[in-house]
Amino acid sequence: MNYISDNTQSIKHSKIRKMFNKALEYDNPISFTIGEPDFTASDNVVEATIRALKEGKSKYSENAGIKPLREAISRYLERECGLLYNSVDEITVTTGAMGGIYQALKVTLNPGDEVIVSEPCWTNYAQQIKMCGGVPVSVPVDFENSFSLDPEKIERSITKSTKAIMINSPCNPTGTVLSEEVLIKVANIAKKYDLLVFSDEVYKHIIFDEAKHISIASLPDMKERTLVFDSFSKTFAMTGFRVGYVAGPSEIISNITKLQENIAACVAMPCQYGAVEALEGGKEHLNMMVEQYEKRRNYISERLSKMPYIKYEKSKGTFYAFISIKDTGMTSEEFAMKLLEKEQVVVVPGDAFGDFGEGYIRISFATSMENIKRGMDRIESFLVNLKVWKAEA
């Protein structure tokens, strides 16, 4: 008897994990795989969480999350994005954005419903869509177009089964921030074909230069068909707290909460109090982190620009650099494995983010400047030697 369901068997482990495991075989690796801030939560957030515990706020909370947190989220969305969501029935607190996206897919997809995802994209979308009986439909984004969404390609991929478009801006892994012009076009497509838009905005504050985050939900007539996913993980360096939320139309939100009631009841109550403090306790910690990420991105960009075989366009947001290695003639996996073997540097092969990520690697700069400097030296040495090997061949 095979005890594992067909659906679960169709779900794949991420290649990021494969690289991570492989790196354990080496004694001095420098890892650029990390998808979480190298900072910890700020002291005021930690203190608020401990205070909640000491005050006995360690029970089950309402399924949708504690009222003070939903109210704080409502104020924050208005302040930061001009979005008006009421805390009573348009916001629900979830186990990170990950839990929110999964529950939203579960609530909205019927078997065979298609969800359009731009690719390369965060690995979990396709798996979660499949876990919910849906079908991910990939639309490629290109280096030449700064990895921005191509609305025409999206429109061409719509079928009778299309239910939703998933967007992620700023984007993991490409670091792209979608412009207002592109968002308007995507919004018009969603309205024309009566589609939902899932807008994953977890990196919205990690943004550089002149780039501006715009939530597609803020565009005319989009609030009623958009689900906004956000979390405390990246913005406030609170990955382990597992607090996120979904904002959207009350009918969908109440159904997400109904699932929460049956899955985990609620998010850990003390962590929810920590999250209130994150939203209300000032932006000093966040600003410090973004400043560091920007310095690191600039350094990486400067170093990579002098190396042979690779192309990199400065990330507009997130803490990832998505780098073309096509000119080496190697596949992403070959490149990543050889780099590990020769120089003990761990990067994520681009095809971990879908087939259209082939020909790229992802570097996370959520690691110290010291690591970045040493890692860049090693990558440079790898590429220079590659040039010598190629010349000799």
| CA distance to 88, 230, 313, per residue, from 272 (Å) | 16, 14, 37
Task: Report the site for ligand PLP in 311-340 (rule: CB under 6 A).
Answer: none
The interface mask with ligand PLP, positions 94-133, x = CB under 6 A, is --xxx-----------------------x-----------
Cβ distance to ligand PLP smaller for residue 81 or 386: 81
Q: At what angle are helices 250-263 and 96-108 packed, to 10 degrees? A: 110
Closest residue to ligand PLP, judged by C-beta, is 96
Contact between 343 and ligand PLP (CB under 6 A)? Answer: no
Q: What is the DSSP letter of 20?
A: H
Closest CA to 207 of 170, 234, 244, 236: 170
Task: Answer positive or negative: Cα dihedral of 72, 73, 74, 76.
Answer: positive
Query: How many CB atoms neighbour CB 13 within 10 A?
Result: 10
Residues 28-57 that bind ligand PLP (CB under 6 A): 35
Take residue 205 and report the two structure tokens written for it.
């504050």
The amino acid sitting at 62 is: E
- Binders of ligand PLP among residues 184 to 243 (CB under 6 A) are 200, 202, 231, 233, 239
Residue 2 C-beta: closest distance to ligand PLP, Å: 30
User: What separation in angstroms does the CA of 17 have from each of 22, 348, 378?
Assistant: 8, 9, 22
Query: Considering only residues 168, 174, 199, 315, which one is a binding residue for ligand PLP as defined by CB under 6 A?
Result: 168
The label of the residue with tokens 């020909």 reads 359
We find the least distance from the C-beta atom of residue 192 to ligand PLP, in angstroms, to be: 26
Note whether 347 binds ligand PLP by CB under 6 A. no
Nearer to ligand PLP by Cβ, of 117 and 187: the residue is: 117
- What's the min distance (Å) between Cβ of 239 and ligand PLP? 5
Joined together, the tokens standing for residue 264 give 């985990």
Give the interface with ligand PLP as residue ranges (CB under 6 A).
35, 96-98, 122, 168, 172, 200, 202, 231, 233, 239, 244
